[in-house]
Amino acid sequence: ALMITDECINCDVCEPECPNGAISQGPEIYVIDPSLCTECVGHYNEPQCQQVCPVDCIPLDPERKETQEELQQKYLRISATA
């Protein structure tokens, strides 16, 4: 999963781009729900939020590294319940 750092300027550009609805406005900055972020696997070749963020504050979450396989599984789980 990706994460949003405190460099976030609350511009709201990323939220509508997420195909999994993983991004929302938190108490101070935008946040990513790691249980919903597939790094865009299943939808796009590139993480869409990273593509649009004007301040480049959406890195890979080092605490939540996942393989392509795991991301694909998560995508399948999410689409089954959606």
Binding site for ligand SF4 (CB under 6 A): 2, 4, 8-14, 17-18, 20, 22-23, 30, 32, 37-40, 47-49, 52-53, 55, 57-58
The backbone region for 10, taken as left when phi is positive above 0, alpha when psi lies in -120 to 50, beta otherwise, is: left
Q: Which is nearer to ligand SF4, 55 or 76 (CB)?
A: 55
Q: Closest distance between ligand SF4 and the C-beta of residue 2, in Å?
A: 5
List the structure tokens of 24. Answer: 């929302």
On the CB side of 31, how many CA atoms lie within 13 Å of its CA?
7
Shortest spacing between CB 68 and ligand SF4, in angstroms? 13
